[in-house]
Homo-oligomer: A and B are copies of this chain.
Amino acid sequence: MNEPVSGSKPHLAPPQRVRLRLDRPAVVRAAAKLADERGSVEGLQLAELAARLAIRTPSLYAHVGSLDDLRRAIALEGLRDLRDRMTHAASGHRGADALMSIARAVRMYALERPGLYTAAALPPRDREWEDALLGLKDVFLTVLSRYGISGDHATDCIRSLRSAVHGFIVLEAQGDFGQPDPAASFERLVSVVLKGLLADAPPAR
């Protein structure tokens, strides 16, 4: 009867017996997964993350700096993912087709990984973060420039497309859309926006 069993005070898990040897990437990955399960990065809690990793909350600070730093890391991962998926979605298409394909890819990502998506949609707080966001803009700009659109018209197109897609994603995630298939509504919304925006543009070269 000398086992190191339950101590005295509260029912916390016993201290670390085997070292897990976590590192920052592992912590960020776990946090992103947790944010996905919670549905957004705002609901993320260090206490819950620590419990999930079977360590104590302060131990996270060996890897993370702060909760905001963790959110930032998740945002950067989300932005990297989004850029990859958008680029991939655009490849092999041109003009409206490429943009439609990008829009679908973004919605799919938001449905698959809501935590990462909401993090990526956060307003950037430093230069690196801002640059990651500009990376997404570049994907749009490239597609638009190949379609002969640039300058203020391009800015307009990007704003409109982002607004429509992001707005739809937010409302859909909130459960605001009920029965008739949201996917079909999304298709119509995006195609209407694209048709209208590209109407007065020169045809694809």
Which residues of A does B touch, CB under 8 Å? Answer: 42, 123, 152, 155-156, 159-160, 162-168, 170-171, 174-177, 180, 182, 184-185, 188-189, 191-193, 195-197
Contacts and interface: CB of A to CB of B under 8 A. Distances in A.
The oligomer's copy count stands at: 2
Interface of chain A: mostly helix, strand, loop or mixed: helix
A138 to B, nearest CB: 15
A159 B177 contact: yes
A20 to B, nearest CB: 33
A102 to B, nearest CB: 15
Nearest to A179: B155
Nearest to A123: B174
Nearest to A197: B192
